[in-house]
Amino acid sequence: MTSRDYDLFVIGAGSGGVRAARMAASFGARVAIAENRYLGGTCVNVGCVPKKLYVYASEYGHAFEDARGFGWDSQGPTFDWATLRDNKKQEISRLNDVYRDLLGGVEANLFDGRARVVDPHSVEVNGQTYSADKLLIATGGWPFVPEFPGSELAVTSNEIFDLDQFPKRIAVVGGGYIAVEFAGIFNGLGAKVTQLYRGPLFLRGFDGDIRRHAAREIAKSGVDLRFEVNVVSIERQGRELNIELSDGTRLQVDAVLYATGRKPHLEGLGLENTNIQLNDNGAIAVDADFRSSEPSIFALGDVIGGMELTPVALAEGMAFARKQFQPLEAPVEYDFIPTTIFCQPNIGTVGFTEEQAREEFGEIALYKSDFKALKHTLSGRDERTFMKLIVETATDRVVGVHMLGPDAGEITQGLAIALKAGATKATFDSTIGIHPTAAEEFVTMREPWSG
């Protein structure tokens, strides 16, 4: 160990930064971590956690209707935005404290302030400079809103959770995770939702069947889903926002949510004082050990691009700390990372899409199932579940699992283990199903899809 103030100085107390700081400290390193916004980062404060709470809230709307077919009389339930928003605030503030305690528990020094890199071994925070053998940048991402007339009137995922008033009419711009999830949330909470996507079909990068089935189900659920259209301008007219669209039409709403991607959060970090290189996407370029082109500075999580998912950042934080402070070689395995979009119904996916599998393996077999869930035979809800398996013909290995349906996230997590373990279609077939569930369909798809 050296005479520097710390062995590790972490900038950013989100999922990746906190995990790296805690692990390194538990291995005996002298650790400091700086955060200027909120402990727990995007996931805890304006991402996964509040989003999932709002998804739960949004599902009650349809659940009250579903209940009638089962004999329940649920007349006129009403929704109060302020209750949801304020209960959410309380829970998030509890989680912020949990994070503070976790860092205190391993004696990592926490600085409440924005840290700036001064030189490859020093960081300035709250007017003081601290030295460290290693610096770790884990500052995450920040919503990106393109510039156009009135773009400042749009809100992003940073603000949407805490709106003063519930937007009875909302336009959601984008066709990725956040747009699709929030279109579902506001639709379920009773708003009139228009989702605008610039291309011919949203969810680019997901399996083609899933994208088509998702468009069908989301439109059926009540979202006014419009493709091949973009926003030209937004104007405020009294309390209303007037949107001019690229197809020449107009839209009047109470709020516009922009969910058009996120960019690495590098502003004011002092990277100009280092030799850190960025890659083509503007993310910090790192090697397999998360080392940047400045040897003493590392970076991980959303700030390095890659899959912007909390569990990925956690795994990276763990691998970094083990390698640098234990030391133990336990690299992150980036294959077969499962992921879910918490739209209604959920999308769960792991492994190759059909399009990727054709390119990677040549000959593949597809198994598909499209059905109405048992629950909806009585609820009367017109919602269908879709499932798909992709099998490499030469090895019989299942290389892709895709689902659109209730609890797809919960189901896909278990199947991801099977795929990582190399399960073949024969293994799926010989697995006994759990009856009656939707998940059993994954082990009972006998006939390959013939087109």
Instruction: Give every CB contact of residue 138 below 8 A, 6+ residues apart in sequence.
Output: 10, 11, 12, 14, 16, 17, 20, 299, 300, 301, 303, 313, 317
Closest CB to ligand NDP: residue number: 176
With contacts defined by CB under 6 A, name the span among 114-122, 242-250, 255-263, 378-386 that binds ligand NDP: 255-263
Binding mask 187-226 for ligand NDP (x = CB under 6 A): ----------xxx--x-x----------------------
Please report, as a single letter, which amino acid is at residue 263: K
- Segments of 201-280 assigned E as strands: 224-226, 231-237, 240-245, 250-253, 255-258, 262-264
Q: Please tell me whether residue 431 binds ligand NDP under the rule CB under 6 A.
A: no
Query: Sign of torsion, CA 85 83 78 340?
Result: positive
With contacts defined by CB under 6 A, name the span among 23-31, 253-261, 319-327, 383-391 that binds ligand NDP: 253-261
Q: Which of 32, 10, 7, 12 is nearest to 132 (CA)?
A: 7
Q: Which of 277, 315, 327 is nearest to 297 (CA)?
A: 277
Q: Looking at beta carbons only, is 139 or 324 nearer to ligand NDP? A: 139
Q: Looking at beta carbons only, is 117 or 185 nearer to ligand NDP? A: 185
With contacts defined by CB under 6 A, name the span among 28-36, 87-95, 115-123, 340-348 that binds ligand NDP: 340-348
Q: Which of 121, 265, 402, 435 is catalytic?
A: 435
Q: Please tell me whether residue 174 binds ligand NDP under the rule CB under 6 A.
A: yes
- Is residue 6 within 8 Å of residue 131, measured between CB atoms? yes
Q: Looking at beta carbons only, is 135 or 337 nearer to ligand NDP? A: 337
Q: Please tell me whether residue 320 binds ligand NDP under the rule CB under 6 A.
A: no
Contact pick of 194, 260, 353, 379 for ligand NDP (by CB under 6 A): 260
Contact pick of 261, 326, 407, 444 for ligand NDP (by CB under 6 A): 261
Q: Looking at beta carbons only, is 27 or 197 nearer to ligand NDP? A: 197
The whole-angstrom separation of Cα 227 and Cα 241 is 21
- Minimum CB distance to ligand NDP, residue 400 (Å): 18
The CA-based dihedral angle spanning residues 415, 418, 419, 420, taken in that order and rounded to the nearest 10 degrees:
120
Tokens of 359: 């390119």
Q: Which of 449, 451, 391, 445 is nearest to 418 (CA)?
A: 391
Please report, as a single letter, which amino acid is at residue 277: Q
The yes-or-no answer on residue 402 being catalytic is no
Tokens of 447: 């006939």
Contact pick of 179, 214, 304, 313 for ligand NDP (by CB under 6 A): 179
Q: Please tell me whether residue 182 binds ligand NDP under the rule CB under 6 A.
A: no
Q: Looking at beta carbons only, is 187 or 274 nearer to ligand NDP? A: 187
Q: Looking at beta carbons only, is 50 or 222 nearer to ligand NDP? A: 50
- Minimum CB distance to ligand NDP, residue 182 (Å): 9
Q: Please tell me whether residue 259 binds ligand NDP under the rule CB under 6 A.
A: yes
Contacts of residues 273-276 at CB distance under 8 Å and 24 or more positions apart, as own/partner, are 273/117, 273/118, 273/119, 274/117, 274/119, 274/120, 275/120
Q: Looking at beta carbons only, is 391 or 401 nearer to ligand NDP? A: 401
Measured in Å, how far apart are the chain's first and last C-alpha atoms? 64
What does the H/E/C string look like for 313-338? Answer: HHHHHHHHHHHHHCCCCCCCCCCCCC
Q: What are the residues facing 249 on neighbouring strands?
A: none
**What Å distances lie between residue 322 and 94, 132, 136, 162, 451, CA to CA?**
29, 18, 14, 38, 48
With contacts defined by CB under 6 A, name the span among 58-66, 119-127, 337-345, 358-366 that binds ligand NDP: 337-345
Q: Please tell me whether residue 16 binds ligand NDP under the rule CB under 6 A.
A: no
Q: Please tell me whether residue 338 binds ligand NDP under the rule CB under 6 A.
A: no
The residues assigned a catalytic role are 435
Q: Which residues bind ligand NDP (CB under 6 A)?
A: 146, 174-179, 181, 197-199, 202, 204, 230, 259-262, 308-309, 339-342
